[in-house]
Amino acid sequence: MLMDFQNTIGRASDVIPNVDSNFEQACLWIMTEAFKQMKREKRYDLTWKETCFSACLVGCMQKIRHEKDIRLRIDPESHLYRKEMLNCTEDPDTAPRIDIKISGGWVREDVYYGIEGKVLVENNWRTRNASYLRRRYITTGIDNFVNGRYSDKMDIGCMVGYVVQGSASEIASKINTSLIRDGRNKENIILHVIDGSSDCYLSKHMRTTDHKEIELRHVFLTFV
């Protein structure tokens, strides 16, 4: 029975996970195309919370995936269970959740391209506090990659900023100011343009769990 099942759907060991720069470029392309669709169809509200932006972005990404017949799995709000949780020795309710998890045709749960989204403003706007949101971008975004809560086996990942007020470049500069103030000069985000979007940056960090260098893309999606 098991052999018949393996012959029908294949063996996990036959599929080699490959989250490399080419895979990353595919993820970034489909994300930026989804953003363009949201803007073009006016499928957003500047007052949305970040989960609404992420959910709508995922919906557009999945639509493009189907239309273009791209072999990607795009999951929203994914729980990242550690081995201890799956062994029932740690509370699974404490598992981190990443906004968007993208994987290819493999079945390794720990191999994926992770994307975390945050709402950002340049200046205080309505109920949104600019300084608080920038700090949150670092502490519950960047730092969740650095401390291994997100993408703990991957050396690449992505932060997305949903800009609902102000300039993306000014926001990026202010994020760097916060990092420098914290003594993290080497972790500054540096302009690094990708196809389809000019407001893109790159930062390098040392992951605290295994002391490996990781790279994070920062893609600012401006809705104003």
- Residues of 141-157 as b/e, b for ≥16 C-beta within 10 angstroms? bbebbbebbbbbebebb
The pLDDT, as a whole number, for residue 110 is 87
pLDDT at residue 16 tops 60? yes
The pLDDT, as a whole number, for residue 12 is 64
Q: Taking the alpha carbons of 60, 139, 195, 18 in that order, is the dihedral positive or negative?
A: negative
Give per-residue pLDDT as tens, 99-123.
Answer: 999 998 787 888 999 999 999 999 9
The pLDDT, as a whole number, for residue 100 is 97
Whole-angstrom distance, CA of residue 138 vs CA of residue 178? 9
pLDDT at residue 194 tops 90? no
70-78 mean pLDDT: 91
The pLDDT, as a whole number, for residue 185 is 96
Nearest by Cα to 111 from 10, 19, 11: 19
Model confidence at 45, in pLDDT bands (50, 70, 90)?
very high
Model confidence at 184, in pLDDT bands (50, 70, 90)?
very high
Tokens at 138, concatenated: 């670092």
Whole-angstrom distance, CA of residue 77 vs CA of residue 194? 25
The pLDDT, as a whole number, for residue 7 is 58
Whole-angstrom distance, CA of residue 120 vs CA of residue 137? 8
